[in-house]
Every structure is written in structure tokens, then in C-alpha cells.
Amino acid sequence: MTDRHIMRHAGGEVTVENGEVVDATEPLVQWCPLKKKVYGRDTIHTKEFIKEIVRYKIVKVGMFTKDRIVESDTDLVPYGASEMLMCARTHDIIDCAVLACDGAGTVIATTPRLIQGIGEWMGGLIETSPIAEVIERINNAGGIVIDPVDAGIDQLEGVRKAFEHGFKRVAVTVAGRHAALLPELRRVERQNGGTLVVLMICNTGVEAGGAESMVEHADMVWACASKAVWEIVGPKAIVQIGVSIPVFVLTDAGKEIVEKRAETIDRHAALFTENLPHLVAHCCPRPLL
């Protein structure tokens, strides 16, 4: 099987084979505040820039290689998806999180350290290949790899399996391009008599239909560089966290996780509850797509 992984950055796609960045498409987002904050690079995005970002991940945590670090308790950003889910698992708000991981595909992560280790540097994973050492490491850490043969990314099947394994309070991260899965995820939740917290991530370029489905079915939505998310999800939020790449919180279940996270960290983002969305144009990714 070919060792091939594709992830999305700034609306462009970066391909990694055998631990090396081999290709990239032009990014659609020209500037992003997260790149400045996390990587210290305040620059116009190019193909070479997004390649550099992926190379950094390979060096930092062994992403896309047999050396991939899968456990961590480091806080990278105050209100990132994995950071909030790590906190929620630590404080027994959820039983597990269904995540996508390079080298393994969809994973049921059962411990705070595994949730953060997988998610801390992960984002925009489109396609991956199985890496035996990574899968073994996840298994040893108490995780469950849904498709160890092909490393398929299937969050719906991950949620089904989580309920089948007896977990009652499940969280799942879903990329915006898969917003059509949301009604089915809620159906699986109802069928199993559990609770499901849905975090919509990697939403750059999401259009109106996807944003409307998020309003109806999601708990937390990252705005990313989506004009539709800003315009459709933002006004329906009960809480907005931050202004650069805000998180729109739509339900009490999402709010509970946010509030617990806020209690446990020293670094805080601005929280808004009225006249949403609160838009500060010069802080947002450019352009909104």
C-alpha cells in the first residue's frame, strides 16, 4: 500500500509520501491569524509556505511517520477543539472523543492525553494511510482504531462504534466538508440513547447549505475562513469565543465544555453573548470564502 497522506491548509492541499512533502496546491486563504500565533509566521500564504507548515508538523510530532507522538497534555491554544475535549474528558463531561488521526484514520480516543496528542497539531486531514507503529501506539494508549487495515476516515462509523463499545457521552470532530453527515449523526445518537457533542472544524469555504445544517445539528462551530459560517451560524450562537477564528457555541452542551475550559486555564479569549457575531475584520482570515 502506498504511504500517502493529504491534508488541507489555508484552503490548499498538501500531499506527504513516505514522510516527505511531495506536492501542494495553491492556498485559497492569503492570510490567517492562527499561522502567526502558532507558527510565528505573519506572511502571505503560498504553496511553499503551507509545505513548510506541514514539514514543521513532521519534525515536531512525527506526523505522517512511524514516530508520530499520539499522547500529550500540552495546551497549544486556549480554545482549540482538542484542548476543549481534553478538558471535557479530564472533568468527566464526555467518555470519549471520535477524532481523525494521520496514520490511523478515525480513532475513538478514551483518555485526555490521547485526545490532545492526536488533535493538538492535527487539522484538515483528507486522506491517510495506515502506519502500523502509530496504530499500535494508539491501541496501547487505550484508543480504538476503527479501520486499522485502510486507515479510513469515517466519523459516522466512529460514533456508531463508540456507542457500540458502551460509551454514552461521545464527542466527535467533523470537518466542514462533511456537514451532510450531521443529520445521520444525530439519528445514531437517538438510536443509541446516548449524548453526542458535535464540533465542526476545518470550515474554510463551507457554503450556505453546510452552515445551515450546522445551525440545526452542531454544538460548536469554528468560523475559519467561511463567509457562510460567519453570516449564518454566527447570529444563532449563544456564545462566541474570540474574534480572529472564533468558536460559535450553539447549545448548552457546547457551553458546558467551554465554561469548564475557561475555569481551568489562565489564558482567556474574549467571550461575547450579545449582538453576534462580533466581527473584527482586520483580525480575521483573508479572504473569507
Q: Where are the domains of the chain?
A: 4-283
Output the pLDDT for position 44.
86
Q: Which residues pair with 234 in a beta bridge?
A: none
pLDDT of residue 27: 95
Answer yes or no: is pLDDT of 236 > 80. yes
Other C-beta atoms lying within 10 Å of the C-beta of residue 266:
6
Lowest mean pLDDT among 22-26, 198-202, 242-246: 242-246
Q: pLDDT-derived band of residue 8, with 50, 70 and 90 as boundaries?
A: very high
Q: Is residue 37 very low, low, confident or very high in pLDDT (cuts 50, 70, 90)?
A: low
Q: State yes or no: pLDDT of 35 exceeds 80.
A: no
Summarised one tens digit per residue, pLDDT across range 99-151 is 999 999 999 999 999 999 999 999 999 999 999 999 999 999 999 999 999 99
Strand order in the sheet with 125-127: 20-24, 12-17, 4-9, 125-127
In order of 60, 107, 147, the CA distances from 49 in angstroms are 16, 29, 32
What's the average model confidence in pLDDT over 155-169?
98
Nearest to 106 by CA among 210, 33, 26, 178: 178
Instruction: Please give the pLDDT value at position 121.
Output: 95
pLDDT at position 230, please? Answer: 96
Q: Quote the pLDDT of residue 138.
A: 98
Q: Which range is least confidently modeled, 87-91, 99-103, 258-262? A: 258-262
Average pLDDT score over residue span 228-244 = 96
Give pLDDT, residue 32: 87
Percentage with pLDDT > 70 across the chain: 97
pLDDT grade for 1, boundaries at 50, 70 and 90: low
pLDDT of res. 270 = 85
The pLDDT score that the predictor gives to residue 34 is 73
**Predicted pLDDT at 42:** 72
**Using CA atoms, how far apart are residues 1 and 133, in angstroms rounded to an integer?**
15
What's the average model confidence in pLDDT over 259-276? 88
pLDDT band at residue 252 using 50, 70 and 90 as cut-offs: very high
pTM: 0.96
Which pLDDT value is given to residue 253? 98
Of 162, 96, 161, 109, whose CA–CA distance to 138 is shortest? 109
**Mean pLDDT, the chain, whole residue set:** 95
C-alpha cell belonging to residue 102: 494521520
Task: Give the model's pLDDT for residue 197.
Answer: 98
Where residue 147 falls (left for φ over 0; alpha for ψ -120 to 50; beta otherwise) is beta
Tell me what pLDDT residue 282 has: 79
Of the chain, the percentage scoring pLDDT greater than 90 comes to 86
